[in-house]
Amino acid sequence: MLGLSPVTFLARLIVLLVGMPLHEWAHAWSAHELGDDTPRWEGRLSLNPMAHLDILGTILILLTGFGWAKPVPVNPYRMRTSPRAGMALSAFAGPASNLVLAMLCALPFRLGWVSLADIGLTRLNLATLLFLVADVSLNLALFNLLPFFPLDGEKVLVGVLPPRWGDALLSFRPYSPYVLLGLLFLLPYLGLDLVGWLIGLVKTPLQMLLFWL
């Protein structure tokens, strides 16, 4: 399919059916645990992919490795914490779930059940599949932690910054999606993939930590 190797397509499919629903469920579960029943009322406290997947986001992640699911509606004012802290915790839960999935994929390597020597980007074997699922999961986690609305990282940052700085970031929210679109599409078109560079800067040491160190 469009030059994709079978193992790459299968890894993306696994992330689509497992990693992305897990991400959205983590948002819903954390909000529910903090006292907000909105995700449960909306049917999002579920690991069923059909409750979370977006048609266009599904197509894109299969074809390009980049995509999205439907955002989980939460009401931070129903949470037992302060609204900003509750929103930050719920927002962070999504990327954290992708990091956990990457760690689970690395575990068989750590236990000696599979070998790093068997990894090859065109090889349809367990080692390559686990490595690629971990790779896509790390990409999703780190991308979502970028500090631009509507990504999770912006909500996390608003929750942990001093209130005045958080207010300044919130005032930037109407323009944030346009900056994100420029970073994702305009700069790469001009030959500068800043987002890919930033994600790679963090992902490489994480992969080293998970698989080699």
Q: Note whether residue 205 is domain-resident.
A: yes
- Local structure of 69: helix, strand or coil: strand
Residues 135, 105: contact at Cβ < 8 Å?
Answer: no
Q: How far apart are CA 11 and CA 137, in angstroms?
A: 10
Catalytic residue among 24, 33, 42, 154: 24
| CB-based contacts of 85, cutoff 8 Å, min separation 6 | 159
User: What pLDDT is recorded for position 94?
Assistant: 95
| Within-domain flag for 68 | yes
Does some domain include residue 1? no
Which residue(s) pair with 190 in the sheet?
A: none
What was the pLDDT predicted at 11? 92
pTM of the model: 0.91
The tokens for 21 are 């629903």
pLDDT at 63: 81
User: So what's the pLDDT on residue 65?
Assistant: 73
CA angle 120, 124, 126 (to 5 degrees): 85
The whole domain housing 72 covers: 6-212
**Which residues, other chains included, contact 81 with Cβ-Cβ below 8 Å and sequence gap of 6+?**
34, 89
Residues 81/75, Cβ–Cβ less than 8 Å = no
Residue 24: active-site member: yes
Show pLDDT as tens, one digit a residue, over the chain (213 residues): 456 788 899 999 999 999 999 999 999 999 999 999 999 999 999 999 999 998 887 887 888 777 778 999 999 999 999 999 999 999 999 999 999 999 999 999 999 999 998 888 777 899 999 999 999 999 999 989 999 998 999 999 999 999 999 999 999 999 998 998 898 888 888 888 888 899 999 999 999 999 986
How many domains are there within the chain?
1
pLDDT digits (tens, 9 = 90+) for 45-69: 999 999 999 888 788 788 877 777 8
Residues counted in the chain: 213
